[in-house]
Amino acid sequence: MLMILSLKEGLLRLYADTNSTMSIAMIRSTFCEASHRRVWISCLIGALSAIVLIRLHPNHIDGILVDMGWAFNAARDLWEGRDPYRHEPSMMLVPYPLTAAIVIFPWAFFPGIWGLVLLFGIGSACLAYILIRDNQYWRLIVFVSPAYFMALKSIQWSPFFMLALFLPVFAPVLLAKPTIAFPVALSIKWTPIRLIMTTLIGIIPFILIPDWFWRWIDQSRHYGGFIPILSWFGPIFLVSIFFYRNYKTRFFFLMSMTPQHLFFYDQLLLWVIPKTRQQMLILTVSSWIGFLYILMNFETLWVNEVYLLTTTYLPAFFIVLWQEPAVHKRFHAIFMILLNKHDRFAFDRTKE
């Protein structure tokens, strides 16, 4: 009898072990399949970004003296012994800090525009992979937003800053554009290694051109951006201070304090705020409405910031408010009160 019971226990244990092994194998298989899917989707987004960039700038970047094009040309100037700040600044040519050239220096050795294309494509692919690492594929909506479209068209840094927000190992890239990097720098965790790497990249330009900082400051007087918190919507955005415990609300407040341009690309970082597909769609659609309205009614995007604030910043502000449980409960309570009053009024009308 004891032998039969022992044999039964052994068979049950073997069955359990087999099931456990099969479950682990199934989990591993599912994980690998999902991981491969994320890799392929990310590579596809990176390749499409690179193709669009080539179509928009098919020849070379030698004449592009704005945004990342300035950094590439400045890096080549340093290698050839030329002065990166020799060009006359204007509203359409505001130079970047010399740290931008150091950040992309290795990529500047690729011929023509290929270094820029590869860097932007790889950066977009990495960003896509990070965004969907939790299988939240709806976050890829950011790549069809006007903010990303303009960042791609203008060869801007904002996608790399979003990448640094999720992967702080890329923190040194924030030195390329310190203005819009401000909210990211205050939102990531700084380890000794990251601080050392960022400090080293910040020191190298002073060794190459000791007075570059003052020359850059002098030439940056043509900067034509705006600060959302100082706009007519500023008092409304200040409400976000009361919900500082929420990471997304703090990030929104930091963004509203940051100097930025009117061309939508600097606002790409606002797309980290949505927590659901619906919120992401609301922000993207409303932003496209503002973007298309400006395109159809003005000859340039360099117009009053009220359009961008109304269709991009204001929806982002309402989204962070909606994410607050206290605000959500109060809205729900007010809605229920109004609904009860409506039902009571309808009931009284039927009695009459």
Tell how far CA 352 is from the center of its chain: 58
Residues 212 and 250 occupy one common structural domain: no
Nearest to 56 by CA among 178, 156, 126: 156
Q: What is the pLDDT of residues 170-213, one digit of tens each?
A: 999 999 998 889 999 999 999 999 999 999 999 999 999 999 99
pLDDT class of 4 with cuts at 50, 70, 90 = very low
pTM: 0.83
Round to whole Å and give the CA distance between 45 and 121. Answer: 8
CA dist., res. 37 & res. 238, Å (int): 42
- Same-domain check for residues 83 and 156: yes
Same domain, 237 and 216: no
Domain-embedded: residue 7: no
Looking at the fold, whether 233 and 145 belong to one and the same domain comes out as: no
Domain C-terminal end among 192, 223, 254: 223
- Compute φ and ψ for 90, nearest 5 degrees: -160, -175
Are 192 and 112 within one domain? yes
Query: How many structural domains does the chain have?
Result: 2
Residue 298 covered by a domain? yes
Q: Report helix, strand or coil for 178.
A: helix
CB neighbour list of residue 325: distance below 8 Å, 6 or more residues apart: none
**Which residues, including other chains, have CB under 8 Å from residue 331's CB and lie 6 or more apart?**
322
| Structural domain contains residue 192 | yes
Say yes or no: 201 and 262 in one domain: no
Report the alpha-carbon distance of residue 26 to residue 20 in Å, rounded: 10
How does pLDDT run across 268-294, given as a tens digit for each residue?
999 999 999 999 999 999 999 999 999
264 in a structural domain: yes
How many alpha carbons lie under 13 Å from residue 118 in its C-beta half-sphere?
A: 12
Give residue for tokens 């909210």: 183
Q: Are residues 66 and 195 in the same domain?
A: yes
Residue 326 lies in a domain: yes
Task: Say whether pLDDT at 81 is over 70.
Answer: yes
* Domain coverage including residue 331: 227-352
